């Protein structure tokens, strides 16, 4: 009887168009939510609002010019984009990169990881309503941007690497500043933890929210912290070391429950591991040139290659085909981690409330510039 009369109280579903202009879709992501009350029954993820055709553009630029296009994909982690691209071309051309250059690249990539995670932490916490963390995280990100500015003159789109090495050596005194930054950052990570990790409200908002099993995460092609949060031990830095990662000691944090809180803890631990790597790299920084022997005119022989690195967001891969005749790639394809992780949004979001949707967009850490390219 109860079920019959309940039909009387059946409700219509509400279609809510979240974005592309919305304060917490991290750019121009658009979600078409189908709501039952405030519970999400289904979601369409619509993207493409910042598609600039970077892949196609790259096929009409010469090899060096592409570096600055890669800056503009994941614009909060430009250095790792540069690194991935340069290493791919180096692999294609079989160029030897000097050890000092590889060390500096590692330092830059890890600084970039901290900067990117700062931005993630700030926006994620702000989505859940903790607005002070946002400004704290940006305060530290600012220090990193200052370091980058001193190194290459730019603060966001660095164009900081070259095929075969680096355009510049480190300015004198830079390593001391980087060391000082590591000390500051250590205490600041503790500060973030103080504000959030054991905060009741934070726990209630993140524990058990957006749980995904390891098998599902692999099936969806998730990568980076969202994958490791589900207890899958996969980090390109360990599994297929590049730059100078094989020479350093560091741990890969792994989650157990696969929820938003685990992904949060993983990224916080990655702050510490990144600091550890930077310290080791600064201490063991070898002397020598920063640029390998590379011809003036780059013209790789015909062939194709795929190379992946661990960007702050996950596995960033480049697939490049050269036809051996032109000074530009024949085919240029990026495996962007944000794009792949965004595939996980739908299964994560369904069944949760509207308030969780913003937390879940935050937890997969997408940058729309990279999703759309």
Partner 1 sequence: MAETIVFYTLSVLILGLAILVVTAKNAVHSVVALVMTFLCVAALYVVLEAEFLAVIQILVYAGGIVVLYLFVVMLVNLGRSPEEHQDPRRLSVFGLGLAGAMLLEVAGIVVYSYNRSASTVTAPAAASPVQGNTQELGWLLYTDYLIPFELASVLLLVAMVGAIVLAKRDL
Partner 2 sequence: MLDTVFWPLVKIVVLLNAVMISVTFMTLLERKVIAWAQSRLGPMRVGPYGVLQAFADPIKLMTKEDITPANADKMMFTLAPILSLVPAFVVFAVIPFGDDPLYYVADINVGLLFLISVTSIGVYGIILAGWASNSKYPLLAGLRASAQLISYEIAVTMTLVSVILTAGTLSMVEIVEAQRETGWWIGFIQPVAFVLVLIGGLAETNRAPFDMPEAEQELTGGFHTEYSGMRFGLFFLAEYANMIVISAVVVVLFWGGWLRPFPSVGALALLDYIPSWIWMFSKMFLVLYLFIWIRATLPRYRYDQLMRIGWKVLIPIAIANVVITAVVKVLL
The residues that touch partner 1, with contacts defined as CB under 8 A, are 2-3, 5-6, 8-9, 11-12
Which one among 74, 356, 365, 372 touches partner 2, defined by CB under 8 A?
A: 356
Residue 6 CB, nearest approach to partner 1 (Å): 5
| Residue 21 three-state SS | coil
Cis link prior to 340 (omega < 30° from 0)? no
Structure token pair of residue 223? 């990568």
C-alpha torsion angle, residues 111, 113, 119, 124 (rounded to 10): -150
Site for partner 2 in 196-215 (CB under 8 A): 196, 199, 201-202, 204-205
The one segment of 2-10, 46-54, 135-143, 277-285 that binds partner 2 by CB under 8 A: 135-143
- Classify residue 138 by burial, with Cβ atoms within 10 Å: 0-12, 13-18, 19+: middle
Specify the DSSP element, H or E, that contains 92: helix 78-93
Q: Does residue 302 interact with partner 2 by CB under 8 A? A: no
The one segment of 72-80, 305-313, 323-331, 350-358 that binds partner 2 by CB under 8 A: 350-358
Specify the DSSP element, H or E, that contains 145: helix 131-152
Which one among 50, 95, 119, 130 touches partner 2, defined by CB under 8 A?
A: 130
Choose from partner 2, partner 1, none: what does 48 bind? Cβ within 5-8 Å by kind: none
Site for partner 2 in 2-21 (CB under 8 A): 14, 16-17
From 198, 215, 216, select the one nearest 207 (Cα to Cα). 198
Q: Would you report the helix, strand and coil content of the chain in percent, each value rounded to 5?
A: 50, 15, 40
From 18, 268, 223, 16, select the one nearest 121 (Cα to Cα). 268
Which strands, in side-by-side order, build the sheet including 303-311?
Answer: 303-311, 314-322, 331-335
Choose from partner 1, partner 2, none: what does 4 bind? Cβ within 5-8 Å by kind: none
Closest to partner 1 by CB, 12 or 249? 12
Choose from partner 1, partner 2, none: what does 6 bind? Cβ within 5-8 Å by kind: partner 1
Q: Which residues bind partner 2 (CB under 8 A)?
A: 14, 16-17, 22-24, 38, 125-132, 135-136, 139, 195-196, 199, 201-202, 204-205, 353-358
């Amino acid at each position: 009887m109860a079920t019959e009369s309940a039909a009387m109280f059946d409700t219509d579903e509400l279609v809510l168009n979240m974005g592309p202009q919305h304060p917490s879709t991290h750019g121009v992501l658009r979600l078409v939510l189908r709501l039952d009350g405030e519970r999400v029954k289904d979601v369409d993820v619509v993207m493409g609002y910042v598609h600039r055709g970077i892949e196609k553009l790259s096929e009409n630029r010469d090899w060096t010019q592409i570096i600055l296009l890669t800056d503009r994909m994941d614009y909060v982690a430009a250095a790792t984009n540069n690194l991935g691209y340069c290493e791919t071309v180096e692999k294609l051309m079989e160029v030897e990169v000097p050890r000092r250059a590889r060390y500096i690249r590692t330092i830059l990539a890890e600084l970039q990881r901290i900067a990117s995670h700062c931005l993630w932490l700030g926006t994620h916490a702000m989505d859940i309503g903790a607005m002070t963390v946002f400004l704290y995280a940006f305060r530290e990100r600012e220090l990193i941007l200052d370091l980058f500015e001193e190194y290459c003159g730019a603060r966001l789109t660095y164009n900081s690497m070259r095929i075969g090495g680096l355009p510049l050596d480190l300015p004198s005194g830079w390593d001391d500043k980087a060391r000082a930054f590591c000390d500051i950052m250590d205490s600041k990570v503790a500060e973030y933890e103080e504000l959030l990790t054991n905060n009741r409200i934070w726990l209630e908002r993140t524990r058990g929210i957006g749980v995904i099993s390891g098998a599902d995460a692999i099936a969806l092609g998730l990568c980076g912290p969202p994958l490791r949060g589900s207890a899958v031990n996969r980090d390109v830095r360990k599994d297929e070391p590049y730059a100078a990662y094989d020479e350093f000691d560091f741990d890969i944090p792994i989650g157990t429950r696969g929820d938003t809180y685990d992904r949060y803890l993983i990224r916080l631990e990655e702050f510490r591991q990144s600091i550890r790597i930077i310290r080791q790299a600064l201490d063991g920084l070898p002397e020598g040139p920063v640029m390998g022997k590379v011809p003036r005119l780059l013209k790789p022989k015909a062939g194709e290659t795929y190379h992946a690195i661990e960007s702050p967001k996950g596995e960033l891969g480049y697939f490049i085909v050269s036809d051996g005749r032109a000074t530009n790639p024949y085919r240029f394809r990026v495996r962007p981690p944000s794009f792949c992780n965004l595939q996980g949004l739908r299964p994560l979001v369904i069944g949760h409330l509207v308030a969780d949707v913003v937390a879940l967009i935050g937890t997969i850490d997408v940058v729309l510039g990279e999703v759309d390219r």
